[in-house]
Amino acid sequence: MTMIRKKTIRKKTIRKFAMKVLNAAARHAAPGTRDWVNAMSREMDFIENDWAALWWALGSTRILFKRQYVPLADLSGIPRAAQCLTKTVRRRTISGLVITLTEAVFFGYFFFGVSTAMLRIGSALTVAAMLYMAYQLYARRAAQPPLDTASATFAYRVELERQREFHCGSWFWSRFIAFLPGPILFCVGAIIAQPESARAYATILAGFVVLSIWAVQLNLSQARKYQRRLDELEALQR
């Protein structure tokens, strides 16, 4: 009797956990994906085996990682889309600020520690570029969107435009141009100051150039992504 009871309790726990997994997935799903996670959730009622139900539920979490964004079906999904965008931008702002300010401190330390003028200028320019990037990140931080559809739609559009501008146009290129000279001067200065380590610094410099090219690609592709969402929003409003 006790064995049967224990088994029943275990089965209930597995099923409960599976449901919790699916509910969590639905909460964190992008607006367009939510309907699909709900669809998976409904199917779970027809899976008799509890372990199979758990595997089914775990599959739903895979969707969250596989599918970052699904186009909105109608305007009702906009308040949630706006909130998701705010969350994404906030994460970017926080991680960006941590990285830029850490680098500013790091190169600030070099400024006082290095011996040659070129290294010192390179450090100072990098610190200035990092502070400028931090300012841009702060200036383009996201505001909390309103909850009603009409206001959220307007706020969503404004935020998409702001973020698109952050990744292209004068915002991006000024940031990019400000960032380039400091590390280049620093590496060249290090090559001159320490010819025995020239190869290592040249490799760092080459890596920096490759990363810079990648950063351009990444930012422009982000700008295109925001533009696609703006187009999608416009199509929905028509």
Partner 1 sequence: MKLRKSPQTSIVLAEFLHGPHDWKYGYDISRNTGLKSGTLYPILMRLAERKLLATRWETPEAGKPPRHMYKLTADGVAYAREHAHSPVKHRLSRPAFSGVKHG
Residues that bind partner 1 (CB under 8 A): 33, 35-36, 38-40, 42-43, 45-49, 52, 55-63, 66-67, 70-71
CB-nearer residue toward partner 1: 49 or 102: 49
The minimum distance between CB 61 and partner 1, in angstroms, equals: 8
Quickly count: other Cβ atoms within 10 Å of residue 235's Cβ. 10
How far is 175 from 183, CA to CA, in rounded Å?
14
Look up tokens 């100051």; give the residue.
Answer: 193
The minimum distance between CB 160 and partner 1, in angstroms, equals: 19
Quickly count: other Cβ atoms within 10 Å of residue 37's Cβ. 22
Copy the structure tokens of residue 121.
């200028």
How far is 123 from 107, CA to CA, in rounded Å?
5
CB-nearer residue toward partner 1: 33 or 126: 33
The minimum distance between CB 174 and partner 1, in angstroms, equals: 33
The minimum distance between CB 228 and partner 1, in angstroms, equals: 10
CB-nearer residue toward partner 1: 61 or 149: 61
Please answer whether residues 152 and 145 qualify as being in contact, where contact means their C-beta atoms are separated by less than 8 angstroms. yes
CB-nearer residue toward partner 1: 72 or 187: 72
The minimum distance between CB 91 and partner 1, in angstroms, equals: 24
CB-nearer residue toward partner 1: 77 or 145: 77
CB-nearer residue toward partner 1: 54 or 78: 54
Work out the angle between the directed axes of helices 117-139 and 169-179 (0-180°, nearest 10). Answer: 160
Burial grade of 151 (CB within 10 A; 0-12, 13-18, 19 or more): middle
Nearest to 146 by CA among 206, 80, 211: 80
The minimum distance between CB 75 and partner 1, in angstroms, equals: 18
Please answer whether residues 194 and 201 qualify as being in contact, where contact means their C-beta atoms are separated by less than 8 angstroms. yes
